[in-house]
């Protein structure tokens, strides 16, 4: 599909309990590149193969979790139109000046019914991936530091009113439903997976009574072998693993879920199918949700359902 309007996930700002320890953890265990610190003390990171200046921002806080999740759009005209469309739909927006985040242009921020803050922006400085734009090599030495994902890929958020969230994403922002899990009565959804591209999902939501919760931020790896390597590195560094390595039924990706040093869950994954907006959404009934989430185990562990930040 032609990528117009919203292009892809752009950045996530996470709250951590010990910033110094987290900088070391995200640099050397997860293997992101430290891109600097702003006047507020927030620390910026990018994955080795990302070209924009940052995709993960950490700030010191008393409680772990997520402050906001952002998407990059294809230009200022789209940013202005999407803000106008959100306002016309009844969604209040806030303009945040360029430079509030390092190397990032003006942002449009709004709260969705699940209690999460979403941002849109058109500009972030292209710093490259350490390779030439002419005749590049296959990878750089940074691809061997820690787990070394190629990009920050998506997030899963927990909160109420996900049917209202879905309408905003579909009717205003141009996303489409890829897969969903039904509640036991089949009358509404427990979880939804939404895409703005041809990925199986760019963001997902699970119905939960408490608003504004983070389940995980996900990082893409090149292959199943890299997922297994990530598992080895997690064990070497005593990273608490939730589940995996295993496979999803939903999206068909191979995956590990684990926790950073503040208790924020993260995912390292590879694979999954390509999606297109003309595809019929895949439906999972509640009795098969275990197989949908963890295809090999066919059951969902209690920690996966109940632990979030």
- 210 classed as catalytic: no
Rg (CA), the chain: 18
Exposed / middle / buried, residue 187 (Cβ in 10 Å: 0-12, 13-18, 19+)? exposed
Q: How far apart are CA 307 and CA 309, in angstroms?
A: 7
CA 136 to chain CA mean position, Å: 28
53, 116, 154, 215: the active-site residue: 154
- 119 classed as catalytic: no
Q: How far apart are CA 304 and CA 292, in angstroms?
A: 13
Q: How far apart are CA 11 and CA 308, in angstroms?
A: 19
User: What are the φ/ψ torsions at residue 124 (nearest 5 degrees)?
Assistant: -150, 135
Alpha helices (H) in 3-75, listed in sequence order? 19-24
26, 44, 219, 257: the active-site residue: 257
Q: For residue 63, count other CB atoms closer than 10 A to its CB.
A: 10
Query: What is each CA distance from 39 to 99, 100, 218, in whole angstroms?
Result: 11, 9, 27
44, 50, 216, 219: the active-site residue: 216
- 257 classed as catalytic: yes
Question: What is the distance between the terminal CA atoms of the chain, rounded to a whole angstrom?
Answer: 34
- 296 classed as catalytic: no
Q: How far apart are CA 118 and CA 17, in angstroms?
A: 22
53, 201, 208, 215: the active-site residue: 201
User: What are the φ/ψ torsions at residue 85 (nearest 5 degrees)?
Assistant: -65, -40
Q: For residue 150, count other CB atoms closer than 10 A to its CB.
A: 18
Annotated active-site positions, please? 154, 201, 216, 248, 257, 267
């Amino acid at each position: 599909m032609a990528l117009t309007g919203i292009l892809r996930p752009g950045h996530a700002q996470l709250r951590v309990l010990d910033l110094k320890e987290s900088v070391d953890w995200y640099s050397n265990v997860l293997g992101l590149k430290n891109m600097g610190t702003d006047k507020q003390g927030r620390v910026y990171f990018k994955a080795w193969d990302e070209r924009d200046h940052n995709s993960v921002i950490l700030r010191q806080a008393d409680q772990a979790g997520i402050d906001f999740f952002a998407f990059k759009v294809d230009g200022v005209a789209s940013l202005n139109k999407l803000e106008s469309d959100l306002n016309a739909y009844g969604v209040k927006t806030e303009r945040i000046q360029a430079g509030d985040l390092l190397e990032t242009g003006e942002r449009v921020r709004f709260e969705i019914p699940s209690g999460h803050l979403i941002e849109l922006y058109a500009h972030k400085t292209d710093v490259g991936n350490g390779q030439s734009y002419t005749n590049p090599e296959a990878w750089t030495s940074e691809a061997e530091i820690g787990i070394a994902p190629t990009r920050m890929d998506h997030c899963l958020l927990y909160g109420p009113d996900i049917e209202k969230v879905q309408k905003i994403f579909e009717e205003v922002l141009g996303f489409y439903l890829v897969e969903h899990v039904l509640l036991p009565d089949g009358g509404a959804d427990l979880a939804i997976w939404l895409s703005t591209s041809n990925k199986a999902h760019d963001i997902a939501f699970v119905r939960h009574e408490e608003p504004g919760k983070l389940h995980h931020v996900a990082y893409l790896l090149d292959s199943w072998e890299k997922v297994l390597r990530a598992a080895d590195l997690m064990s070497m560094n005593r990273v608490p693993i939730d589940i995996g390595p295993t496979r999803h039924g939903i999206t068909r990706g191979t995956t590990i879920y684990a926790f950073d040093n503040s208790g924020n869950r993260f995912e390292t994954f590879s694979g999954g199918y390509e999606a297109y907006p003309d595809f019929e959404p895949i439906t999972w009934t509640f009795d098969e949700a275990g197989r949908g989430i963890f295809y090999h185990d066919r059951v969902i562990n209690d920690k996966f359902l109940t632990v979030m930040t």
